[in-house]
């Protein structure tokens, strides 16, 4: 029986209308688990994490496999035959859930219950992936890609239009924007509760192996921290005035610490529902991740707030890839502690727009990974495995990942 720790649930942060919904879902899940008991080995999670990770991200951008059930089935079958074992389908993008969400409907209105394209198709892509992945034995870990970002080049989109108090602010008082992405205030308790609600909803409604954050969860551009709420909290906790420089050391460290505390809360929330669930994180590379997006993932490791770490070692030349990987491995080893079972894998970019890393690059990346004791990798993203990239998947299957090897 999966251990439940409902008593540790962080309901105090949930808005009243959502608390009832999530509590009801918890009760239904608990009753279901009692009437349909399953056994779970105490070391089941550790056993799974001890396996080499061979994963791929599934996107709804520049890819059509999530928009049609048959294409999803064909894609997952190809992945499995090539020796992959895990898929990370996107579930949260540009202010919408790709699956139907009661949380979104209650918070922003019925028209925002689901991404408009998938709603018009009457398709739940997450359930579709699960239905086709389960018979194949593929692990499914939903990827909350947009994290604390509200929108892309939409002035905050419908989220900040409805909840302006949720906006992160820069030094000039504008909505915090970086590289075209507008941001919610990742330090605000209502914003944190909202993201936790979305995560809990997926955990309770879908048969998934865990959840994944990335370079936007938990994250916020370090130029932020100037909303009235954040300034008041900083001054209350430190006794200091908020500096004009958003990257002043004490201020930046404090902001990063707030996100590290959220990482702990996210981990505990997921584990309260299923102790065997994998809390996966795919942050940016450290220390750039902290300096630019407040992602102090060595602290997450020290706090024990993740099960799987997949830094996005996205480089277009193999020399930079190797140098960065060595730095990442050193940071991982220094922070995780001697008894940690956190699985480490490297995120490898194989496609971005019309740019590709082909097999000549990838085989060297795999060699470098093994040389540094890294036994797994996750590829961004699915479309880079096929004809656009000289059928990279065939080379991986033949020389690296074949189930017969």
Domain boundaries, the chain: 6-401
The answer regarding whether domain 6-401 maps to CATH 3.20.20.80 reads yes
Please state at what angle helix 189-205 crosses helix 16-35, rounded to 10 degrees: 30
φ and ψ at 96, to 5 degrees? -130, 145
Residue 22 clears pLDDT 80, i.e. is over it: no
Q: What is the pLDDT of residue 379?
A: 98
For residue 243, give both structure tokens: 């500096």
Question: Which residues, other chains included, contact 81 with Cβ-Cβ below 8 Å and sequence gap of 6+?
Answer: 397, 403
Task: Convert 1-47 into a string of H (helix), E (strand) and C (coil).
Answer: CCCCCHHHCCHHHCCHHHHHHHHHHHHHHHHHHHHCCCCCCCCHHHH
Q: What is the pLDDT of residue 337?
A: 80
H helices present in 82-115, as ranges:
102-108
For residue 124, give both structure tokens: 């739940």
Burial of 386 (0-12, 13-18, 19+ CB in 10 A): middle
What is the Cα–Cα distance from 405 to 389, expressed in whole angstroms? 24
Residue 114 clears pLDDT 50, i.e. is over it: yes
132-141 pLDDT, tens digit per residue, is 999 999 999 9
Q: What is the pLDDT of residue 8?
A: 32
Tell me the β-bridge partners of 96.
Answer: 93
What is the Cα–Cα distance from 216 to 257, expressed in whole angstroms? 15
Q: Are strands 343-344 and 351-352 parallel, antiparallel or unpaired?
A: unpaired
**CA dihedral sign, ordered 18, 204, 85, 59:** negative
| Structural contact between residues 183 and 177, judged by C-beta atoms closer than 8 angstroms | yes
280-325 pLDDT, tens digit per residue, is 999 999 999 999 999 999 999 999 999 999 999 999 999 999 999 9
Indicate the SS3 state at residue 179: coil
- Cα three-residue angle 165-166-167, rounded to 5 degrees: 95
Residue 349 clears pLDDT 70, i.e. is over it: yes
What is the Cα–Cα distance from 306 to 342, expressed in whole angstroms? 7
Enter the DSSP assignment of 401.
I
Burial of 285 (0-12, 13-18, 19+ CB in 10 A): buried
Question: Which residues, other chains included, contact 267 with Cβ-Cβ below 8 Å and sequence gap of 6+?
Answer: 279, 304, 305, 306
Q: How many Cβ atoms are within 10 Å of 254's Cβ, its own excluded? A: 20
CA-based nearest residue to 48, from 166, 140, 158, 127: 140
Q: What is the pLDDT of residue 1?
A: 31
**CA dihedral sign, ordered 4, 209, 159, 184:** positive
65-97 pLDDT, tens digit per residue, is 999 999 999 999 999 999 999 999 999 999 999
Residue 391 clears pLDDT 90, i.e. is over it: yes
For residue 53, give both structure tokens: 């990770």
Number of alpha carbons in the 13 Å side-chain half-sphere of residue 306: 31
Question: Which residues, other chains included, contact 353 with Cβ-Cβ below 8 Å and sequence gap of 6+?
Answer: 62
| Structural contact between residues 29 and 289, judged by C-beta atoms closer than 8 angstroms | no
142-189 pLDDT, tens digit per residue, is 999 999 999 999 999 999 999 999 999 999 999 999 999 999 999 999
| Structural contact between residues 349 and 314, judged by C-beta atoms closer than 8 angstroms | yes
Residue 27 clears pLDDT 60, i.e. is over it: no
- Report the chain's mean pLDDT, rounded to a whole number: 91
For range 6-31, the mean pLDDT: 43
Using omega within 30 degrees of 0 as the cis cutoff, is the peptide bond preceding 381 cis? Answer: yes
For range 366-379, the mean pLDDT: 97
For residue 162, give both structure tokens: 């409805």
What is the Cα–Cα distance from 2 to 236, expressed in whole angstroms? 41
Q: What is the pLDDT of residue 402?
A: 77
For range 212-228, the mean pLDDT: 98
Q: Are strands 181-183 and 149-152 parallel, antiparallel or unpaired?
A: antiparallel
Residue 7 clears pLDDT 60, i.e. is over it: no
CA-based nearest residue to 140, from 301, 263, 277: 277
Q: pLDDT above 90 covers what percent of the chain?
A: 86
Q: What is the pLDDT of residue 404?
A: 41
């Amino acid at each position: 029986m999966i251990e439940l720790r409902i008593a540790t649930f962080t309901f105090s942060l949930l808005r009243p209308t959502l608390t009832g919904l999530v509590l009801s879902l918890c009760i239904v899940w608990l009753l279901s688990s009692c009437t349909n008991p399953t056994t779970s080995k105490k070391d089941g999670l550790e056993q799974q994490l001890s396996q080499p990770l061979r994963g791929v991200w599934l996107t709804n951008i520049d890819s059509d496999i999530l928009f049609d059930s048959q294409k999803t089935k064909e894609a997952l079958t190809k992945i499995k035959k090539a020796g992959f074992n895990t898929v990370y389908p996107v579930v949260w993008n540009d202010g919408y859930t790709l699956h139907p969400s009661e949380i979104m409907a209650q918070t922003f209105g019925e028209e925002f219950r689901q991404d408009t394209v998938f709603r018009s198709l009457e398709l739940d892509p997450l359930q579709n992936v699960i239905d086709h992945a389960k018979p194949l034995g593929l692990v499914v870990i939903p990827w909350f890609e947009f994290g604390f970002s509200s929108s892309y080049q939409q002035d905050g989109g419908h989220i900040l239009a409805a909840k302006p108090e949720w906006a992160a602010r820069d030094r000039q008082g504008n909505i915090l924007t970086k590289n075209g992405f507008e941001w919610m205030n990742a330090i605000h308790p209502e914003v944190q509760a909202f993201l936790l609600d979305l995560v809990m909803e997926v955990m309770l409604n879908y048969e998934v192996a865990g959840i994944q954050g990335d370079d936007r969860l938990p994250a916020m551009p370090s130029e932020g921290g100037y909303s009235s709420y954040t300034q008041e909290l900083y001054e209350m906790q430190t006794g200091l005035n908020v500096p004009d420089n958003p990257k002043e050391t004490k201020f930046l460290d404090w902001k990063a610490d707030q996100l590290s505390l959220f990482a702990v809360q996210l981990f505990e929330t997921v584990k309260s529902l299923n102790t065997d669930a994998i809390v996966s994180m795919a942050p940016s590379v450290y220390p750039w991740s902290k300096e630019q997006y407040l992602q102090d993932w060595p602290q997450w490791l020290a706090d024990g707030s993740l099960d799987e770490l997949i830094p996005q070692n996205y480089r277009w030349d193999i020399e930079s890839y190797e140098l960065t990987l060595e730095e990442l491995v050193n940071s991982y080893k220094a922070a995780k502690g001697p008894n940690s079972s956190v699985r480490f894998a490297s995120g490898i970019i194989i496609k971005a727009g019309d740019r590709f890393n082909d097999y000549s690059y990838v085989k060297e990346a795999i060699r470098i990974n093994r040389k540094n004791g890294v036994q797994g990798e996750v590829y961004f993203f699915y479309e880079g495995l096929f004809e656009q990239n000289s059928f990279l998947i065939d080379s991986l299957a033949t020389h690296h990942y074949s189930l017969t090897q």
